[in-house]
């Protein structure tokens, strides 16, 4: 029986979505702009990387052609002379928004067309009733922040005051999120998680997609840094996902990275959450090597987004793409007859773009395996086509949304 490995390169968009203008993102192109910056020398960083973007394995799968389908142009350095080694195309998101849960849920067959709730770009940003309830129920002396902010910047700005006052740092972004940052030693990791669980319930009436715990360590003298103990508290998907169908069929599921958090730990099987892209990929390949027939390993590689996209770090993003590209031969090595690997993304986060938020983009769809012929799958009108294809490949009943290309 077939098996499947689904890899989400978090935020690796390949060009503005048809409705990008409505989100202020007309012209955004995460992959294309990184490639262009590298070609012009703006992707160089001593000791890290230099020169044009080099992704020979991803280009060989058709990444450049997928980008051409989305934008009309092959990004610099991603042209190939021979036919791609697999199926390639690009997908358009139907869900409202450009956040992580919406993208992943649609990949798994559940497009969410009802808009999320967002907090206004004001100070304070949170409703007074929400803040007062959180302070009372969590036993807090108050909160800091109460605004839109980039996570690393607000921790540097308010970290010392947080330690001095005991008040957690609460902030949001253009996504539907309520984020709480606190020092692991001075505030306590368990207390931070408990506070986030309270906030999750309080945010439900506002249709907020995620409450995110953002623990950090350090001090004002040496600087603060976020740790790998982040935890997302998401609402459950509003429909029956590919994971639910797998669970109902008694199939094995292994969720690696933040997949468990994104799906509110529903039908996510065995969850593994290492720190960093390399460790997550290692864990996914180890799990896939012993995966039973009919099973799925579902992997999210979040560093593209959190470490480089939001920080508008072009050289870092480029280096991380090149590091993943170098792992493709190892991914191929674990595939056996009947297996399918599918690589995609959940949204964009163009590191050359204004601000620090996600960008509304199309995503690549690259599929390969020992038995999969080279072909273009063109433009897919929903990320849900990915889930539909995986369901068909695994011999499952069709999902409620999406069209398989198999």
| The pLDDT value given to residue 2 | 93
Q: Which two tokens stand for residue 324?
A: 């993943």
| The pLDDT value given to residue 93 | 97
- Within 10 angstroms of residue 318's Cβ, the number of other Cβ atoms is 28
Average pLDDT rounded to a whole number, residues 184-202: 97
pLDDT above 90: residue 397: yes
DSSP string of 117-143? Answer: P---SSSS-S-HHHHHHHHHHHT-S--
Q: What's the rounded Cα separation, in Å, for the pair 161 and 130?
A: 22
Q: What's the rounded Cα separation, in Å, for the pair 35 and 202?
A: 42
Please give, one letter per residue, the 3-state secondary structure of 41-82: CCCCECCCECCCCCCHHHHHHCHHHHHHHHHCCCCCCCCCCC
| The pLDDT value given to residue 248 | 97
Residue 386: DSSP 8-state: H
The string over 244-281, giving b where at least 16 C-beta atoms fall within 10 Å of a residue's C-beta and e elsewhere, is bbbbeeebbbbbbbbbbbbbbeebbbebbbeeebeebb
pLDDT above 90: residue 66: yes
pLDDT above 90: residue 214: yes
| The pLDDT value given to residue 24 | 93
Q: What percent of the chain has pLDDT over 90?
A: 94
pLDDT above 90: residue 163: yes
pTM of the model: 0.91
| The pLDDT value given to residue 174 | 82
DSSP string of 297-358? Answer: EEEEETHIIIIIITTT-HHHHHHHHHHHHTTHHHHHHH--TT-EEEEE-SSB--TTSSSSS-
Average pLDDT rounded to a whole number, residues 109-114: 91
| The pLDDT value given to residue 347 | 97
Chain center to CA of 288: 20
| The pLDDT value given to residue 115 | 84
Partners of 298 in the beta sheet?
A: 6, 255
Question: pLDDT higher for 332 or 96?
Answer: 332
What digits encode the pLDDT tens for the residues 215-251?
A: 999 999 999 999 989 999 989 999 999 999 999 999 9
Q: What's the rounded Cα separation, in Å, for the pair 203 and 131?
A: 10
- Average pLDDT of the residues of the chain: 96
Q: Is 223 exposed, middle or buried (0-12, 13-18, 19+ CB in 10 A)?
A: exposed
What digits encode the pLDDT tens for the residues 19-60?
A: 999 999 999 999 999 999 999 999 999 999 999 999 999 999
Q: What's the rounded Cα separation, in Å, for the pair 78 and 291?
A: 33
| Cβ 259 vs Cβ 234: under 8 Å | no
pLDDT classification of 152: cutoffs 50, 70, 90:
confident
pLDDT above 80: residue 1: no
Average pLDDT rounded to a whole number, residues 188-213: 96
Q: What's the rounded Cα separation, in Å, for the pair 321 and 258?
A: 19
Q: What's the rounded Cα separation, in Å, for the pair 25 and 402?
A: 25
């Amino acid at each position: 029986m077939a098996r499947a490995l689904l890899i989400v390169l978090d935020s690796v968009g390949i060009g503005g979505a048809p409705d990008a203008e409505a989100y202020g993102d007309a012209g955004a192109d995460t992959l294309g702009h990184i490639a262009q910056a590298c070609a012009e020398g703006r992707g160089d960083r001593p000791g890290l990387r230099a020169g044009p973007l080099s992704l020979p394995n991803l280009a060989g799968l058709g990444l450049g052609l997928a980008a051409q389908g989305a934008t009309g142009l092959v990004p610099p350095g991603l042209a190939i002379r021979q036919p791609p080694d697999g199926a390639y195309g690009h997908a358009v998101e139907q869900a409202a928004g450009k956040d992580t849960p919406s993208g992943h849920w649609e990949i798994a067959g559940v497009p969410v067309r009802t808009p999320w709730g967002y907090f206004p770009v004001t100070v304070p940003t949170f409703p007074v009733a929400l803040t007062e309830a959180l302070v009372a129920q969590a036993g807090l002396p108050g909160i800091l922040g109460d605004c839109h902010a980039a996570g690393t910047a607000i921790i540097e700005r308010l970290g010392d005051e947080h330690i001095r006052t005991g008040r957690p740092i609460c902030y949001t972004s253009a996504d539907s999120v309520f984020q709480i940052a606190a020092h692991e030693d001075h505030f306590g990791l368990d207390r931070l998680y408990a506070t986030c669980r309270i906030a999750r319930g309080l945010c439900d009436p506002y249709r907020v997609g995620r409450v995110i715990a953002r623990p950090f360590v350090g001090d004002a003298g040496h600087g603060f840094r976020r740790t790998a103990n982040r935890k997302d508290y998401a609402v459950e998907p509003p429909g029956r996902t590919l994971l639910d169908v797998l669970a109902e069929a008694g199939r094995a599921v292994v969720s690696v990275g933040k997949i468990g958090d994104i799906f509110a730990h529903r039908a996510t099987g065995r969850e593994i959450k290492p720190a960093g892209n390399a460790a997550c990929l290692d864990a996914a390949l180890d799990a896939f090597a012993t995966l039973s027939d009919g099973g799925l390993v579902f992997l999210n590689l979040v560093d593209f987004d959190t470490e480089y996209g939001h920080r508008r770090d072009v050289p870092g993003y480029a280096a991380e793409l090149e590091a993943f590209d170098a792992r493709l031969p190892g991914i191929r090595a674990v595939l056996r007859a009947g297996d399918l690997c599918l690589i995609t993304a959940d949204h964009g986060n163009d590191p050359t773009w204004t601000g620090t938020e996600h960008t509304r983009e199309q995503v690549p769809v690259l599929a390969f395996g020992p038995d999969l012929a080279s072909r273009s799958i063109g433009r897919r009108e929903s990320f849900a086509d990915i889930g539909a294809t995986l369901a068909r490949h695994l011999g499952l009943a069709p999902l409620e949304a999406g069209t398989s290309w198999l």
